[in-house]
Amino acid sequence: MSAQETPQPRQAKVRYDGRLKVTGKATYAAEFAVPNLHYGFIVQSTIPNGEIVSMDTAAAERASGVVAILTPFNAQLLPAYGKAAVNPPAGRHMSLLQDKIVNYNGQPIAVVVARSLPEAEFAATLLEVRYKSAPALLDFKGRLGEARLPKKSPPPHVDDSAAKVAAAVESAAASIVETYTTPIENHNPMEPHATIATWNGDSLTLHNSTQSVSGDARTVAKTLGIPVDNVRVISPFVGGGFGCKGSTWSHVVLAAMAAKAANCPVKIALDRTQMFGPVGARPATVQSLKLASDAGGTLTGIAHDVVINSSVMEEFVESSAGQTRMLYKSPVVAISHKLVDVNYGISTFQRAPGEATGTYALESAMDELAYKLKMDPVQLRLANYAEMDQSNKMPFSSKHLRECYQQAGERFGWAKRTAAPRSMNDGELLIGYGMATATYPAFRAAAQASVAMAPDGRVIVSSGTQDIGTGMYTLMQQTAADVLGVAMDVVDVKLGDTTLPPAPGSGGSQSAASVCPAVQEAATQVKLKLMQLAINDAQSPLHGAREDDISAENGRLISKQSPKLADAYTAIMVRNGSAPVEATADAEPGDERKNFSLHSFGAVFAEVAVDPYLHMIKVRRVVATYDIGTLLNQKTGLNQLVGGIVWGIGMALHEETKIDPVYGRTVNENLAEYHVPVNADIGDIDVSVVGIPDTTLNPLGARGVGEIGITGAAAAVANAVYHATGIRVRELPITLDKLMA
C-alpha cells in the first residue's frame, strides 16, 4: 500500500499546549505556588574520591534564613537505602547522605534549607568540609587496557565470529580497520531539574520535572520505605528531558528528606553547573570498527568493539554496537561492549543512547569503505541492504529504507556530487556532501487511558504519561477527537499525574506508540456506549440500527446508509439522564516482538562549507527522509525529527564535556563553554517521512520519532567534512584545530 492510499489520521493543526507555553502560563515543576515554601541548595564535593572526615556547620546554621542543614552526620537513615533502585538504570544509585564516601567531584554531600534561595546559597559557602582523599580513577583513555565486561550483562556468547571477521579482513579486496571516539556529552535542556517536596502527614507530593511520574513514585516510595500510594508525583510540563529526566536522581529524594527535616515544603532547583555530574551524562566511547568487502562492495565481515567509561558507583552500557548487528547484510558480525571504571558521575540515557554514537562510527566506516572501493556511498549501502534482521533471523515488521535513500537523495541533489574530496567549491569555500543511514528500535509498553464525555459534549482524555515537549498533549487530544468524530477544541487533556491511569516513562521513543492506542481504545468504548444508547432509544433516529452501520462525525452519530439519520451526542445523553459516558482502557504489546524485528530507518544527507584558511565549518543544509510508520501529527513529529538533526549537528561539531585530569571536575560546566548549536549554526533542514503504517507494532501504525533524528546525523556531517577537505576526523567533535594539516 502506498503512502497516498493509506488513510491518515485527522491532524491537530495547533499544539494543544502551544498557547500556554508562548504566553508563559504553562506551569513547570519549579513554578508551583506552594504555601510556606523554603529553598534547598545542594552542596557538592570538591574531591573525586575519598571520605568526608568532618563537616563544620556552625557558621552556616547562624546565617540569615537557614532552617535546616542535612549532612551525612545528621541525615535520616533510610531503611531501603542501597536497595531502592527499580530496574536499573531507570532507578539509579543515589547520593542521599547515608555515608561519608565520595565517589566523584560534584557529588551531593549536604543540603542547606533556607527561606530564600540566595540565603541558602550563601549559607552553603560557609560550610567547612574536611576530606581524606584517595587516589582517583580519572584517565579513561589511558586505561583502555583495563576494560572489562559488564557485570550485569549475561555472559558473552562464545563463538569464533571475531576470528572470522579478522580472517575476512585479511582476505578482503577492501577493508577498513579504524577507531572512532566520542566524548562525554551532558544534557542541557532549557529547564534544569527541579523538585518541590511537600509532606502532609505520611503522604508526600512531588512537583517534579520528570520523564516518568510513575517511575519516580515507585523509586521514591521504595527509597523512603513508604507505600507507593503515599507518593503523588505531578509533572504537567517538562522543559526538555532527552533521557536525563528518565531516572530518579539524588535531588528528588533529598528534597523529600529536607522537607521532612525542615517541616515545610522545600524546593530544590538545580542550577546549570549542577547539571554536570549529579544527573548523568552520555559516556565517552572508543569504538573499533572492522569492515571487509569483496571488490564489488559486498560486505564479508563486520566487527564493532566498544569501550565506555563507567562510574565506580553504577554500571551503564552505551550499547553503541547494537545497530551494527542488524543494519547491513554480512555473513559474519562480531560486536562487544566493555567498561573502564572511573570516578565520574553515573552515566545515563541521552537521546538515542547507543545508536547516536554507534551510527557515527559505523556510518563513518562505511563512508571510508566506499571511498576505498571508489563506490558511491549510497550504492554501497544498497549493495548490503538487509532484507531481514540477521542478528535474530526475523523479518522486519516494516522496512522502507530504499525509499528513504531515493527520496532524500533526490531532494538533496546527491547526483550532482563529484566523488573526489576537495572537488567542489563555492568561491573559496570548500563544499562537501555526506550521507548516512539512520535507525532506531521501535518500542511499545503497556499503558492505560480514560476518556469521558460530559453531557455538554466536552471530552476529557486522561493518562499518567508525560509531555516532555514531544507533543503528547496534542496526540492524545487528536486521537480521541478522531475516534469520536468531534472537534479538537472540545477535547481536554490531563496527564503528568500519578493519580491518573498509569502509563510508561517517556523514553525509548515509546510514548505515542504506547499511550495513543490506549486512548484510541477508550474513545472507541465511549463511542460504542453512545451507539448502544441511541440504538436502544425509541426516540433516537438511529433506534434499531446496527453498530456497523453507524459512523461518528461532527459530534454526531450518523447512519452510513441513510446519512440524514443522525443523532448528536449531547441529545443522546440528555435523553438518557444527562450522565457522562466514560471508559478506561488498557493497551499493551502482543507477541509482535517474538515474531518480528521492530525498527525505524532513515537516510540523512548533509552539505557543509569549510573555509580553507580559517577551517570554520558551516552546515548549510540537511535533507532527511524517515520510515517511521504513520506520522501521527506533522507539526509535532517533524519538529522532533528536526530537533534530533540539530542535536546531531551539535554532536558532530560542538558538544564535549571536559574533565579535569587531576581533580575530576567538569571544567566547562556552563553554556558559555559547553557549546551547543544556536540558530546561527543551523542551515536549512528538510525532513519528510515515507508515511507507510506499521500496524504490526500497534493499531495506529506509528513508531516513535523522538530519537531516530539524531542517529546518522553526526556521521552525515562528518562524512561531508571529509568530502569537503580530504581530512578524515575520527574524533568528535570536529573542531577547526583538527582540520589543520
Q: Are 215 and 249 in contact (CB under 8 A)?
A: no
- What are the b/e assignments for 401-417, b being 16+ CB within 10 Å? bebbbbbbbeebebeeb
3-state SS, residue 414: helix
Cα 278 from Cα 93, distance rounded (Å): 11
3-state SS, residue 61: helix
Cα 110 from Cα 450, distance rounded (Å): 42
Name which of 322, 319, 311 is nearest 350 in CA terms.
319
Q: Are 316 and 348 in contact (CB under 8 A)?
A: yes
Cα 207 from Cα 198, distance rounded (Å): 9
Q: Are 715 and 360 in contact (CB under 8 A)?
A: yes
- What are the b/e assignments for 559-595, b being 16+ CB within 10 Å? beeeeebbbebbbbbeebeeeebbbbbebebeebbee
Strand ranges (DSSP E) for 463-611?
491-494, 550-553, 556-559, 566-568, 581-587, 599-610
Name which of 172, 177, 110 is nearest 299 in CA terms.
172
Catalytic residue list contains 707: yes
Cα 262 from Cα 402, distance rounded (Å): 61
Cα 216 from Cα 210, distance rounded (Å): 8
429 pairs with which residues across the strands?
A: 426
User: Given 315, 363, 656, 707, which residue is catalytic?
Assistant: 707
DSSP 659: B
Cα 352 from Cα 598, distance rounded (Å): 15
Cα 385 from Cα 372, distance rounded (Å): 19
CA distances from 324 to 150, 328, 606 (A): 19, 7, 22
DSSP 497: B
**Active site (catalytic) residues:** 707
